[in-house]
């Protein structure tokens, strides 16, 4: 085995151990400030979010876990994490207080560890059982950017709708209408599949755009590769078509009445044109900072929080890209309007 593979497995085991520690602590009840610390840790790395989501799905099936915690702790010889004595935790912490050395050095392998836990408790875990479904939708003037449970990012254009449902074996999104862009967190064990109008797009870790309008499904890849195929329940499906970065494929929904689709190479300017809907530039004129930050917060994972009401009433003007919140904050800092303090996915805006 190569050293890099050993290192990756070691990292994965450490992340899963921390995720399990956080979930055990959450079940017992977070101390003040610990919930925010957990959320900060979960969002810091897509692998953290993916590990938490996987463990939550399996642990949800293990009824009686709370009643048999003593047996589980004795079996795995571990103690749930707690803040060291004398350390205050009232505020938002950026680093979780987790002592992984308290855990027995068990090598976990995805669901295998959870299945061992389930066998010990006398329950049968069902890794293919689907988790809760989440639906995202926008209006004719709307836009939405969402961070999914595995760390992937979903962006919806105007008048678009999508349903997201993850299992332990697959991450699936159904694009009901409109247009969406995906930045997929790498997970070879769970392919990311987008379906639209009888067309499926399968990826592992990549970025691509799917447009489902006007009787066709159009797929544009901006990073990595995806496999695209048409699902025909009445006939054998053709082999998937591989599309690489800077390529586009349009599949008509009535293939019998249209020529065979052809992969189209795209110049960088063409790719930018396809994704132009993502970059939303808005012109503000004498607008309260509180209203401006509210607009940014609707379009970004990074959230702006104004700590001083007087600062929120200050009026500003200018043209800003709503998808570049950090550039907006740097501009305000440069002009001496605010000073910013970052905590995970939150930026606190204070008076200078």
> Which residue(s) pair with 136 in the sheet?
162
Residues, the chain, total?
A: 352
For residues 237-274, b (16+ Cβ closer than 10 Å) or e, as one string? eeeeeebebbbbbbbbbeeeeeeebebeebeeeebeeb
Report which listed range, 49-53, 80-84, 191-195, 317-321, is most confident: 191-195
Share of the chain above pLDDT 90, in %: 34
Which of 54 and 314 is assigned the larger pLDDT? Answer: 314
- For residue 64, the model assigns a pLDDT of 42
- Nearest in space to 166 (alpha carbons), one of 22, 39, 26, 50: 50
Give the mean pLDDT of 100-116: 37
Task: Assess whether the region 134-274 and the region 281-350 belong to the same CATH fold.
Answer: no
CATH class of 281-350: alpha beta
What does CATH list as the number for 134-274? 2.60.120.1440
- Assess whether pLDDT exceeds 60 at residue 339: yes
Least trusted range by pLDDT, from 106-115, 183-192, 257-266:
106-115
Distances (CA, A) of 178 to 42, 84, 86, 126, 210: 30, 50, 54, 34, 8
Alpha carbon distance 321, 68 (integer Å): 52
Q: What is the DSSP letter of 242?
A: E
> DSSP letter at 41?
H
Instruction: Write the DSSP symbol of residue 68.
Output: T
**Least confident piece of the model among 118-132, 185-199, 239-253, 295-309:** 118-132
Domain assignments of the chain as residue spans, ordered by start: 3-121, 134-274, 281-350
Q: Which residues pair with 284 in a beta bridge?
A: 318
The owner of tokens 């969402």 is: 146
pLDDT at 81: 45
pLDDT band at 75 (very low <50, low <70, confident <90, very high): very low
In this model, does residue 78 exceed pLDDT 50? no
Is 213 strand, coil or helix?
strand
Alpha-carbon distance 222 to 234, whole Å?
Answer: 32
């Amino acid at each position: 085995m190569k050293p890099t593979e050993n290192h990756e497995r070691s990292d994965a085991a450490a992340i899963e151990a921390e995720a399990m520690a956080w979930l055990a602590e959450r079940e017992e009840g977070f101390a003040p400030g610990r919930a925010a610390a957990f959320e900060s840790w979960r969002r810091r790395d897509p692998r953290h979010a993916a590990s938490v989501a996987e463990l939550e799905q399996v642990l949800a099936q293990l009824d009686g876990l709370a009643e048999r915690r003593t047996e589980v702790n004795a079996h795995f010889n571990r103690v749930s994490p707690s803040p060291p004595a004398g350390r205050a935790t009232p505020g938002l912490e950026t680093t979780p207080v987790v002592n992984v050395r308290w855990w027995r050095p068990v090598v976990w392998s995805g669901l295998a560890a959870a299945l061992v836990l389930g066998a010990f408790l006398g329950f049968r875990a069902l890794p293919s059982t689907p988790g809760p479904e989440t639906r995202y939708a926008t209006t004719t003037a709307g836009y939405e950017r969402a961070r999914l449970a595995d760390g992937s990012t979903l962006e919806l254009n105007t008048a678009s709708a999508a349903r997201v449902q993850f299992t332990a074996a697959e991450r699936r999104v159904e694009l009901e209408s409109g247009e969406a862009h995906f930045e997929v967190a790498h997970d070879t064990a769970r392919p990311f599949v987008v379906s639209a109008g009888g067309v499926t797009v399968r990826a592992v870790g990549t970025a691509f755009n799917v447009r489902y309008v006007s009787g066709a499904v159009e797929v544009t890849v901006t990073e990595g590769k995806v496999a695209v195929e048409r699902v025909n329940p009445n006939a054998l499906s053709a082999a998937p078509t591989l599309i690489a970065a800077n390529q586009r494929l349009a599949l008509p929904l009535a293939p019998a009445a249209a020529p065979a689709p052809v992969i189209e190479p795209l110049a960088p300017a063409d790719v930018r044109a396809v994704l132009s809907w993502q970059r939303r530039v808005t012109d503000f004129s004498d607008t309260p900072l509180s209203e401006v930050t509210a607009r940014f917060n609707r379009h970004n994972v990074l959230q702006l929080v104004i700590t001083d009401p007087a600062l929120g009433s200050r009026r500003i003007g200018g043209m800003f890209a709503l998808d570049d919140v950090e550039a907006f904050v740097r501009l305000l800092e440069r002009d001496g309007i605010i000073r910013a303090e970052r905590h995970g996915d939150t930026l606190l805006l204070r008076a200078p």
